[in-house]
Structure 1
């Protein structure tokens, strides 16, 4: 299963050439990830994503330019890896007929009180598992 987030485009997202600046796509991914991990994920305690997480890695492939417009862009998000202390989230920023960006983020749950990463809880693993797709299947 995939989570879909409708991301609004803002006037400030545009660069001098009239398309969405490459750096802005990372903000779009962040908005989709926050909607996924903090709005959908269960839990309120220390052992939940709401207690904290950090980004360990981003990978992004720009497929085509996205010209500024008033309609939101669709971001599909799913999980391609669940480790002991991290997860990889994949994304497509797209419309019905065009993919603008394919990307992935490695997210690490983090205990801000101790200043250290922590292992994924069973609840987090179960939540992520609902959105898991094998990387080969996701690329198709």
Structure 2
């Protein structure tokens, strides 16, 4: 399952060319991540920190009044970290693909912590490799090479 966040565009998001500035996409990802993790029914109240971002810019997003969709899903869950993957898009038109590694964090002790069972179960609901059919294609290709 994927989480969808409708992200509003702001006038200040624009660069001198009328496009959404590349740096602003980090804020968009943050807004989607907060909308996903900090909900009344599911909350990472013990805290978390971002360990890494990776962003691939695919095309320019021109400023407009309509929001842009950000699809977010979980691609990896480890003992003390998880990876969120995003697509900033309109329908089939993708502007940005990105991922963020997040580490659960104990702010009182000032150190990373392991995911709780409740957090793990919540994240597993949104686990998706985001690449439908690629495993089958890889297996077919490996079998063809082996033959």
Q: Same fold (TM over 0.5)?
A: yes
Asked if 1:100 corresponds to 2:95, the answer is yes
Report how many aligned residue pairs link the two structures. 135
Question: For residue 19 of structure 1, what is the aligned residue in structure 2?
Answer: 19
Deviation at 1:39, TM superposition (A): 1.3
Question: For residue 42 of structure 2, what is the aligned residue in structure 1?
Answer: 42
Deviation at 1:134, TM superposition (A): 2.5
Question: For residue 87 of structure 1, what is the aligned residue in structure 2?
Answer: 82
**Which consecutive unaligned segments of at least 5 residues does structure 2 have?**
136-147
Question: For residue 46 of structure 1, what is the aligned residue in structure 2?
Answer: none
Residues 2-11 or 128-137, more deviating:
128-137
Asked if 1:6 corresponds to 2:1, the answer is no
Q: Deviations over 1:56-103 (max 9, x none)?
A: 000000000000000000000000000000000000000014100000
Q: Deviations over 1:80-130 (max 9, x none)?
A: 000000000000000014100000000001010010010000000000000
**Which consecutive unaligned segments of at least 5 residues does structure 1 have?**
44-48
User: Out of 116, 119, 130, which is 1:124 matched to?
Assistant: 119
Separation in 2 of the partners of 1:90 and 1:53?
A: 16
Separation in 1 of the partners of 2:47 and 2:131?
A: 30
Separation in 2 of the partners of 1:129 and 1:59?
A: 22
CA 1:107–1:98: 2 relative to 1, 3 Å: same
Secondary structure of 2:121's counterpart equals helix
Q: Deviations over 1:20-41 (max 9, x none)?
A: 0000000000000000001166
Question: For residue 65 of structure 2, what is the aligned residue in structure 1?
Answer: 70
Separation in 1 of the partners of 2:105 and 2:18?
A: 38
